């Protein structure tokens, strides 16, 4: 039992799931089995929340909610099926069709659908989901953990970054993240001896990215590997600016990437190479520079511009921090979610008392 009054039941999944799509698929199947056992044997609940991606978690949640006869709250954190199709991860039209049909059945089963980005709303409307059933609880950031006061001096010493202008990408190094564009920008900046780019994280494209950096002869890029979440804030505060890249596909125009909010919370300007709803947030907040997705030259130019404008960096960083504190604080989202679950639970108990 956690001191906060909730119990964590840890289920088994194989390690190394981030290394390949096959390993990830096996891990998802393992979690479906171990999670189902844990839910059915070790938990009692008034409502069941299934957060996706992956869609297999939604499948597990939907089945368990039916068997336990409790309402399902279906939380959509990414349009995973569409992303898999657009990126070519899943090419079978039959498989995609089956998964989409199951996804729509989960939409119908859910008493409430929670989305963390307004970009998902048109998708649900296309599937015929009434707006009254959908609640927006925006993605956000722990503004106490990701704070400008986080000490990045040790990171700068560790990576010999004293006196350097540092740009940091902190997140997954996968197919969707378009790390190649960052490396091509670094190639264009190789003559700027005071600029360094930190790639903080791991993923199934990390080895490929390292090979690409070696092939280009890049000495201005540092791969840190996976670091604990608590340390990511120190890396961001060690940097002068953050970077967010995603592949230029329609599905990524719908998302609120965590790394953008993390950077803003640390009062650092962010250069984003993503169109859509997150670009609107950054532009409205005046918290960074927006570059066309895949534009390595644009990214390099943006970093040069920010390097030469410390006052502009400070203004953008402060504006970003204010915006996340007011609109995207994770604790406010948690309170909103808790109130939602309270309402769902109260309705269930009321119906039970009425014999419904």
What residues does 18 pair with on adjacent strands? none
Considering the chain, what is the average pLDDT of its residues?
Answer: 92
- Of residues 39 and 115, more confidence is placed in 115
Handedness of CA 143, 148, 151, 153 (dihedral sign): positive
pLDDT in tens, 135-161: 999 998 999 999 999 999 999 999 999
The reply to whether 45-140+330-353 and 153-324 are identical in fold is yes
User: Domains of the chain: which residue ranges?
Assistant: 45-140+330-353, 153-324
Q: What is the dihedral of CA 329, 335, 340, 342, to 10 degrees?
A: 170
Whether the predicted pLDDT of 331 surpasses 60: yes
Which three-class secondary structure state does DSSP give residue 192? coil
- For the domain 153-324, what is the CATH code? 3.40.50.2000
Closest CA to 90 of 209, 211, 251, 201: 251
Whether the predicted pLDDT of 19 surpasses 70: no
Please tell us whether the domain made up of 45-140+330-353 is placed in CATH 3.30.230.80: no
Any idea which residue has 């769902």 for tokens?
Answer: 344
Question: For a pLDDT cut of 90, what percent of the chain falls above it?
Answer: 76
Given pLDDT bands bounded at 50, 70 and 90, which one contains residue 124?
A: very high
Q: How far apart are CA 320 and CA 323, in angstroms?
A: 5
First-to-last alpha carbon distance for the chain, in angstroms, is 32
What residues does 242 pair with on adjacent strands? 168, 270
pLDDT in tens, 228-281: 988 999 999 999 999 999 999 999 999 999 999 999 999 999 999 999 999 999
pLDDT for the residue numbered 9: 81
Count of other CB atoms within 10 angstroms of residue 25: 13
């Amino acid at each position: 039992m956690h001191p906060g009054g909730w119990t964590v039941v840890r289920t088994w999944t194989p390690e190394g799931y981030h290394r390949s799509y096959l390993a990830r698929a096996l891990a998802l199947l393992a979690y479906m089995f171990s999670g189902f056992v844990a839910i059915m044997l070790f938990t009692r609940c008034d409502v069941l929340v299934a957060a996706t991606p992956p869609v297999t978690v939604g499948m597990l949640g939907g089945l368990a909610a039916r068997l336990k006869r409790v309402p399902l709250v279906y939380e959509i954190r990414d349009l995973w099926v569409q992303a898999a199709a657009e990126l070519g991860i899943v090419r079978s039209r039959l498989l995609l069709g089956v998964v989409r049909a199951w996804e729509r059945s989960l939409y119908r089963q859910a008493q409430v659908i929670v989305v963390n980005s307004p970009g998902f709303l048109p998708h649900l409307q296309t599937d015929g989901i009434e707006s009254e059933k959908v609640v927006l609880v925006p993605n956000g950031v722990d503004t106490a953990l990701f704070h400008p006061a986080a000490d990045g001096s040790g990171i700068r010493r560790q990576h010999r970054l004293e006196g350097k202008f540092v740009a940091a990408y902190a997140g997954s190094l996968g197919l969707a993240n378009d790390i190649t564009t960052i490396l091509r920008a670094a190639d264009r900046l190789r003559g700027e001896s005071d600029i360094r780019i930190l790639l903080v994280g791991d993923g199934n494209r990390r080895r490929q990215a390292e090979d690409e950096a070696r092939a280009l002869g890049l000495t201005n890029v540092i791969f840190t590997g996976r670091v604990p979440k608590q340390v990511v804030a120190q890396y961001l505060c060690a940097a002068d600016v953050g970077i967010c890249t995603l592949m230029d596909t329609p599905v990524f125009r719908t998302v609120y990437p965590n790394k953008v909010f993390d950077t803003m919370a640390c009062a650092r300007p962010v250069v984003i190479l993503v169109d859509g709803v997150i670009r609107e947030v950054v532009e409205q907040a005046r918290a960074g520079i927006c570059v066309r997705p895949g534009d390595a030259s644009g990214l390099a130019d943006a970093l040069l511009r920010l390097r030469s404008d410390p006052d502009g960096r400070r203004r953008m960083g402060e504006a970003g921090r204010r915006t996340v504190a007011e609109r995207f604080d994770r604790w406010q989202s948690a309170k909103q979610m808790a109130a939602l679950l309270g309402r769902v639970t109260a309705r269930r108990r009321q119906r039970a008392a009425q014999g419904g």
